[in-house]
Structure 1
């Protein structure tokens, strides 16, 4: 059976494959509710009437929940928002599969200099609360970015980044037990 992107996102929360009705029941959780609306907007965004409807619904919940995530943002399956709270992601950012993002995170644009642009986030990346990741940089696969870290440099795969300014430590088990229920 082929699972939908929404089912894959919701699988990350519980480790269970859910029916459409079970997904609706889980939408009492603001994080999951927002992901549901975001994915519907991404799916239907180019359709004239349905796309407009979902964009308006998404805008309402962006304001209500404090998530600045736009349908243009490329986000791989298995997306997980760890906590309810302010979050800013530039719409040109690319996020890989099975990524966790906590509250207060900023994935932003740098407007000048050699790192002008937006981040590209790899697969199985865990980003802790209040981390700031800016510029035309690449974050490799299996990377843990600790809470309150500031990252404006490329991060190789299998690493942990801690601090402001961020310091990279190689670690083959960087996200072990942090990225659960992978799809």
Structure 2
């Protein structure tokens, strides 16, 4: 698996198939995959003088078109998967691990004051449901399912399900089983 690019690993999560760069380009008809492709190209080439400007402008165009507010400064692990397109905000200082799924309407934001001042750090194999809100300098463990419409502003241990507003943690060894497919 190490011979595959980050883009190939992201696209593998969608179909469970390793694709050539040509086949990846063909799959870019899907807005989610198209945005991930542009985001990863921007992360890869964003600092190259002329090419970087092109990819930054292209990313900005598709941020507006698709409603994804994800910046190239955001550290995102391989196997990133966006479940649906539209209305997604992720703070650029956020760290996201491998094999993470994020649905529409999610906000992952910075808290500007208080004991949790800062941005979240999200572990590996985390599934974040529609309209969930995650804020502050908190750590989300590995194998965590954050249910739709949950508000999370505290640390979440690994192997947990988080649900509600205010959120409640339920330990579960198989929290994301059946939710995260085609892990890399």
Q: Structure 2 length normalisation: TM-score?
A: 0.99
Corresponding position: 1:178 with 2:182:
no
Q: Structure 1 length normalisation: TM-score?
A: 0.99
**C-alpha offsets along residues 21-62 of structure 1, whole Å, 9 cap, x if unaligned?**
110110000000000000000000111111111000000000
After TM superposition, the runs of 4+ consecutive aligned structure 1 residues lying more than 4 A away are none
Aligned alpha-carbon RMSD (Å): 0.6
| Matches of 1:104 and 1:59, distance apart in 2 | 19
- Counterpart in 1 of 2:4? 3
- Counterpart in 2 of 1:142? 143
Superposed counterparts of 1:12-161, under 5 Å = 12-161=13-162
Could you tell me how far 1:84 is from its partner in structure 2? 1.1
| Matches of 1:53 and 1:9, distance apart in 2 | 22
Structure 1: gaps of 5 or more residues: none
What secondary structure does 2:55 align onto? helix
Aligned residues: 183
What secondary structure does 2:62 align onto? helix
| Matches of 2:32 and 2:129, distance apart in 1 | 15
